[in-house]
Amino acid sequence: MDTPNALRSGWASRFGFILAATGSAVGLGNIWKFPYITGIHGGGAFVLVYLLCILLLGLPIMVAELLIGRCGQRDAIGSFMALEGRKSPWRLVGWGSVAAAFVLLSFYSVVAGWSFDYVCKAATGILHRGNPEQISGLFGELTASAPRLVFWQALFILTTVGIVIGGIRGGIERWSKILMPGLFGLLILLFLHGMFSPGGMQSLKFMFVPDFTKLTSRSLLDALGHAFFTLSLGAGVMITYGSYLDPEADLFGLSFRIALLDTLVAMLASLTIFSVVFSAGMPIDGGPGLVFKTLPILFMQLPFGKVLALVFFLLLAFAALTSAISMLEVVVAYVIDEWGWRRAKATSFGGGAAFLLGIPCALSFNLWEGIKLLPGRTVFQSFDMLVSSYLLPLGGLMVSLYAGWVWTKEREKPASCRLADSGVLFAVWHFLVRYLAPAAVLLVLLNEAGLFS
Ligand code: PFF
């Protein structure tokens, strides 16, 4: 192992770290994707499987990623090089994660741009004009317009760059301390409103009373894949954020809190959305259009609907922003640590490049709809599949193999490379990261590759 750098300056406080890491975890995945996949997979039983995946697979891998970063004291690639040597093949795992974060940022920013557009629509009242068809038609109008998509995507990336350029304390931590409490406040407001609406009870039942007949093998795999995505695993985020942590921080405790908050947001957001949908007697399995097409119609019919719609899309925009920040930081940390660039230059470069790569993604909803990168998939869908179905699970698999099988002598290492608890918790973690996590993730990957179909 190379000697790690002198411990670098990092988070001002553990609380700041928790908010930033939770900010990464809580994103479009929680508020946009989780509700619609839960709707499609029939509720309760799917939620239960998802919770198990978070607890048994996601959490252990998060601990492993944070530990690798804190020990390596560098970006996602540099940390592996610091631990295993410059030429070690394990650095390729770091490469895969940085690539995943970069590509993810490019297409994530397109959907995040939609949330900006909807904030504007809600604020100016456009979202509340016309009949239901016209309101749900607004979404199609937006995605059909290339200039509008590119404009919002550019604005979103610019905002992200503006925050990351301020650094860990002055940018990411500072803004997470503003955006995350804002997000929680808005969410609780909406949630309370939802629970007191006529659909509140039905929504609770749908989420928490499991009906196992609705569970299919696809549900299991989707639950696992989403557990990875929602905890921001496999993209170097936790390695990078972990590299700014102090050696005494209790990684089990921190990871647990991040996963708990992430899960809480996903649950509250789903309960809220379902209560609105049930109140209106609409179908729950509306798919990806649930948030952008169905919800606005329902908001229109609710008392205070205008305010609620604005609050909801602000929430979505905040959540997307704190996640995008973490993706950009993965790339920026790499450029700073390995190329020696200054933060301002590295951030503008990373953001600019992700914007350029995101343009074909935006165009794949309109002008380039006919262009297929992977068979039958537009550029956006291909990037999404590459990252969400392959790169993130593969990154997680390699991290668990590394922590479980290769990096086994950590007790001889300095404090920053060790886990505080060497008792039962450590033994459970080691078992999960060594056996269960790799086996389960491998299963998902093989299934995605079509082995079982
Ligand atoms: N966790 C984010 C979400 O749920 O939207 C997505 C994400 C962020 C995935 C950062 C991966 C990542 F590195």
As a whole number, mean pLDDT of residues 74-78 equals 97
**Does ligand 1 lie within 6 Å of residue 327's CB atom?**
yes
Q: What is the pLDDT of residues 11-58, one digit of tens each?
A: 999 999 999 999 999 999 999 999 999 999 999 999 999 999 999 999
- 215, HSE (Cβ side, Cα atoms, 13 Å): 14
- 197 three-class SS: coil
Instruction: Pick the more confident residue, 129 or 356.
Output: 356
Task: Confirm if 84 and 69 have CB atoms less than 8 A apart.
Answer: no
- Written as one string, the DSSP assignment of 113-125 is HHHHHHHHHHHHT
Candidate from 38, 104, 111 with most ligand 1 atoms within 8 A of CB, to mutate = 104
**Residue 71's pLDDT is what?**
92
As a whole number, mean pLDDT of residues 425-443 equals 94
Query: Considering the chain, what is the average pLDDT of its residues?
Result: 91
CA 324 / ligand 1 centre spacing (Å): 8
Q: What is the pLDDT of residues 169-214, one digit of tens each?
A: 999 999 999 999 988 998 998 899 889 988 999 999 999 999 999 9
Distance linking the first and last C-alpha atoms of the chain: 43
Confidence of residue 116 (pLDDT cuts 50, 70, 90): very high
The torsion angles phi and psi of 284, rounded to 5 degrees, stand at -90, -15
Provide the total of helices (H) and of strands (E) in the chain, helices listed first: 22, 0
**Residue 7's pLDDT is what?**
56
Q: Which atom of ligand 1 is nearest to the CA of 231?
A: 1
Q: What is the pLDDT of residues 237-289, one digit of tens each?
A: 999 999 999 988 999 999 999 999 999 999 999 999 999 889 888 888 877 78
Cα angle 383-387-389, degrees, rounded to a multiple of 5: 110
User: Which tokens in the block code for residue 261?
Assistant: 């908050």
**Does ligand 1 lie within 6 Å of residue 30's CB atom?**
yes
Q: Which atom of ligand 1 is nearest to the CA of 100?
A: 13
**Does ligand 1 lie within 6 Å of residue 323's CB atom?**
yes
The torsion angles phi and psi of 374, rounded to 5 degrees, stand at -95, 155
Q: Which atom of ligand 1 is nearest to the CA of 27?
A: 5
Q: Which atom of ligand 1 is nearest to the CA of 32?
A: 5
The torsion angles phi and psi of 377, rounded to 5 degrees, stand at -125, 135
As a whole number, mean pLDDT of residues 396-422 equals 82
pTM: 0.93
For ligand 1, atom 12, the nearest C-alpha belongs to 232
Q: Which atom of ligand 1 is nearest to the CA of 237?
A: 13
The domain spans of the chain are 7-448
- 377 three-class SS: strand
As a whole number, mean pLDDT of residues 422-432 equals 91
For ligand 1, atom 7, the nearest C-alpha belongs to 232
Could you count the other beta carbons within 10 Å of the beta carbon of residue 390?
16
7-448: CATH class: mainly alpha
**Does ligand 1 lie within 6 Å of residue 232's CB atom?**
yes
**Residue 201's pLDDT is what?**
94
Is pLDDT at 411 greater than 80 in this prediction? no
Q: What is the pLDDT of residues 84-103, one digit of tens each?
A: 999 999 999 999 999 999 99
Q: Which H or E run includes 247?
A: none
Is pLDDT at 333 greater than 60 in this prediction? yes
Distances (CA, A) of 182 to 36, 178, 319, 332: 23, 6, 10, 26
**Does ligand 1 lie within 6 Å of residue 25's CB atom?**
yes
- 88 three-class SS: coil
**Does ligand 1 lie within 6 Å of residue 29's CB atom?**
yes
Q: Which atom of ligand 1 is nearest to the CA of 229?
A: 9
**Residue 3's pLDDT is what?**
42
Alpha-carbon distance of 397 to 90, in angstroms, equals 12
Alpha-carbon distance of 191 to 196, in angstroms, equals 9
Lowest average pLDDT, out of 65-74, 220-229, 336-345, goes to 220-229
Is pLDDT at 1 greater than 50 in this prediction? no
**Residue 327's pLDDT is what?**
97
Residues 6 or more apart in contact with residue 202 via CB below 8 angstroms: 274, 275, 278
Is pLDDT at 389 greater than 70 in this prediction? yes
Amino acid 166 reads: G
**Residue 154's pLDDT is what?**
98
